[in-house]
Chain A
Amino acid sequence: MTARTAGIGVLALAGFALLAFVPRLGNPYYLALAISLLQYTVLATAWGMFSGPTRYVSLATTAFFGVGAYTVAVLGEILPWPLVLLIAAVLGAIVAAIVGLSTLRLSGVYFVIFTFGLTELIRQLVVWFEVNKSRVLGRYVFVDITQADIYWQLLALTAAVFLLGWLIARSRLGFALRVIGEDETVAKHCGIDTTFAKVALFTISATVMTLVGAIMAPRWTYIEPSIAFNSMISFQVLIMALLGGAHRLWGPVLGAVPLTLLFELLSARFPNTFTIILGCIFLLIVYMLPRGVAGLFEKLAATPGGKTTQRVAA
């Protein structure tokens, strides 16, 4: 088993090393596509890290993404880049901790409602602040970050997210979350501090989303609240994670890669009816693949034919 884990680790490292050379291809379209792929991979994986094991549906991806993007818009030109990223991450963590502490103590519905409104709430607060206090609505981002830099940063973040997810799954925290997902009452009776576990993981996942927003911000040269807080991101990330299967760490990738490519194609081909198509795809996934592609694989592996191949592989 350890040999197998090490093998997967080496393979993953080699894969990431190979992926690092994509900007060297010199084709701006591929680079842009690769950035989108990585962006959604990280967002969907981060979403699945919290919502997968706990089964609390979070609709607030955009809120954190926007907090990150807007932090860059405000501070990007004043402070050095690593410091900006750090501040964005801290801000995202604080917002997540506040939301988590106030709603995750209660049942799941309150959390859903709150995350449903969180994007709109933060956007309204930002607009209010910009109009009344700083008196600018919409900011320009002039930072010295190229597309290739964005790509490498996202790649590093992807690697970090997978490592983090793997470590959490092996830790007491990950085990506690799986128990909570199965039955929260039982978890409480086992002496698990359910609130702490949920808030901690929600904060970690939200911090990653915030970082994605911050890293992606230099891609737009102009940012205003309606760009940074675009609710489509929440929706797309949710679809991807569900298609892939959020209960596995590697599940959301299986959804993020094909759907990013599909959305790229659809939004160019059918700009007016894109939302409708998106909604239909989503409904199909909810009805046909409730446990995602990862669940499908597991089902296949559980059939007798699949089991023998697995044994051969091991």
Chain B
Amino acid sequence: MTNAILNGLMLGGMYALIAMGLTLQYGVARIMNLSYGEFLIAAAFASHWLFTGWAISPFAGLALIVPSAFVLNFAIYKILLTPLVRRAPNRDALEVDSILATFGLTFVIQGSMLALFGGAYFSYSFLAFPVQFLGETVAANRLAALGITILLGLALYLALTRTRAGTAVRAVAVDPFAAQLVAINVPQASALTFALGGALVAAAGVLVSTFLTFSASSGVVFTMKALIVVVMGGVGNMLGCLVAGLALGLSEALVASYVDPGLTLAVNFALFLAVLLVKPAGLFGRATR
């Protein structure tokens, strides 16, 4: 039982980290990014390549991959998504357009990775030894990933609540139109937040690659889980992200160890629906109407 809960918490922490970037991209930049999981897998491949080809530890790799992801996502927002933002008459139209554009992007990225690496599963052995934690045996790489996840989450939370730039970002999330009235450069803030979300998902990809096997086509599952966590927690809400991620991870681990590992996705969706039926705005979301 303790083992299942511990596993669930570690899994949930990972989901929360994965979803944090998306909640920024969707909550602030208003981009519903369906290619989100592909960036995670791309980062995982980059980390794999650095580790096996150049013997660079994934933690050192973070310092390389995360900034590149930031720049790449900034460019994507400026080049690919800004025309859609300009064209859209309202928020709903932008949502539909961004869904379509990023859906197309999904196939471009996934196809590129398939062409480069093939359809096989990849993994590498990093910190793969057991350690004792709270009286249970867990893999060191998972524990390390959880530690970094907590650090990243704390840093993001403090940056959003304690700094001037973070306050501006939250203002854009609340009302992009009114934010302009208090001299916030909304397009710039949106682009930077989108890039920050991309950097976060790249960090998640590197961490995930240390303990999970992945293939060029496994991005979709991560996109889906991130979407579920974001909507379940309330769009743009960090605390909601954490709680929803942990709930998802726990339920998954419990079902996998006590019912059947083949039913984890069904549990995800059941949980998602149950939350939406009770609170359509998500656990910590504010009702829009």
Q: Does A146 contact B (CB under 8 A)?
A: no
Is B277 a contact of A286 with CB atoms below 8 Å?
no
Is A109 a contact of B95 with CB atoms below 8 Å?
yes
In the complex formed, the residue of B with least CB distance to A124 is B265
Provide the bound-state CA to CA distance between A242 and B99, in Å.
13
Q: Does A283 contact B (CB under 8 A)?
A: yes
Provide the bound-state CA to CA distance between A20 and B103, in Å.
36
Query: What is the interface size of chain B, counting residues whose CB is below 8 A from a CB of the partner?
Result: 44
Provide the bound-state CA to CA distance between A120 and B268, in Å.
12
Q: Does A121 contact B (CB under 8 A)?
A: yes
Provide the bound-state CA to CA distance between A68 and B104, in Å.
26
Is A121 a contact of B269 with CB atoms below 8 Å?
yes
Is B265 a contact of A57 with CB atoms below 8 Å?
no
Is A108 a contact of B265 with CB atoms below 8 Å?
no
Is A279 a contact of B104 with CB atoms below 8 Å?
yes
Q: Which residues of A contact B223 (CB under 8 A)?
A: 116
Q: Known interface pairs A55-B96, A113-B228, A120-B220. Does A282 touch B104 (Cβ–Cβ under 8 Å)?
A: yes
Q: Does A125 contact B (CB under 8 A)?
A: yes
Provide the bound-state CA to CA distance between A272 and B272, in Å.
36
Is B273 a contact of A108 with CB atoms below 8 Å?
no
User: Chain B interface secondary structure, helix, strand, loop or mixed?
Assistant: helix
Q: Which residues of B contact A103 (CB under 8 A)?
A: 276
Q: Mark B223-252, 1 if CB is under 8 A from A, else 0.
A: 110011001000000000000000000000
Mark out the residues of chain B between 107 and 145 whose CB falls within 8 Å of any chain A CB in the assembled complex: 107-112, 114-115
Question: What distance in Å separates the Cβ of A61 from its nearest Cβ neighbour in chain B?
Answer: 13
- The residue that A117 contacts in the complex, of B32, B224, B280, with Cβ under 8 A, is B224
Q: Does A86 contact B (CB under 8 A)?
A: no
Mark out the residues of chain B between 1 and 42 whose CB falls within 8 Å of any chain A CB in the assembled complex: 32, 34
Q: Known interface pairs A102-B277, A113-B227, A120-B220. Does A283 touch B104 (Cβ–Cβ under 8 Å)?
A: yes
Q: Which residues of A contact B224 (CB under 8 A)?
A: 113, 116-117, 120
Mark out the residues of chain B between 89 and 104 whose CB falls within 8 Å of any chain A CB in the assembled complex: 92, 95-97, 99-101, 103-104
Is B263 a contact of A128 with CB atoms below 8 Å?
yes
Q: Known interface pairs A276-B107, A279-B108. Does A132 touch B260 (Cβ–Cβ under 8 Å)?
A: yes
- The residue that B104 contacts in the complex, of A116, A286, A290, with Cβ under 8 A, is A286
Provide the bound-state CA to CA distance between A113 and B87, in Å.
23
Is A274 a contact of B262 with CB atoms below 8 Å?
no
Question: What distance in Å separates the Cβ of B126 from its nearest Cβ neighbour in chain A?
Answer: 28
Q: Which residues of B contact A108 (CB under 8 A)?
A: 92, 95-96
Q: Does B53 contact A (CB under 8 A)?
A: no
Question: What distance in Å separates the Cβ of A161 from its nearest Cβ neighbour in chain B?
Answer: 23
The interface of chain A, by Cβ under 8 A from chain B, is 55, 57, 59, 102-103, 106, 108-110, 112-114, 116-117, 120-121, 124-125, 127-128, 131-132, 231, 235, 238, 242, 272-280, 282-283, 286-287, 290
Known: A120-B224, A279-B109. 20 other contacts (CB 8 A): A55-B96, A108-B92, A112-B99, A114-B269, A117-B224, A117-B228, A117-B269, A120-B221, A124-B262, A124-B265, A131-B262, A132-B260, A238-B103, A242-B100, A275-B114, A276-B111, A282-B104, A283-B105, A286-B100, A286-B101
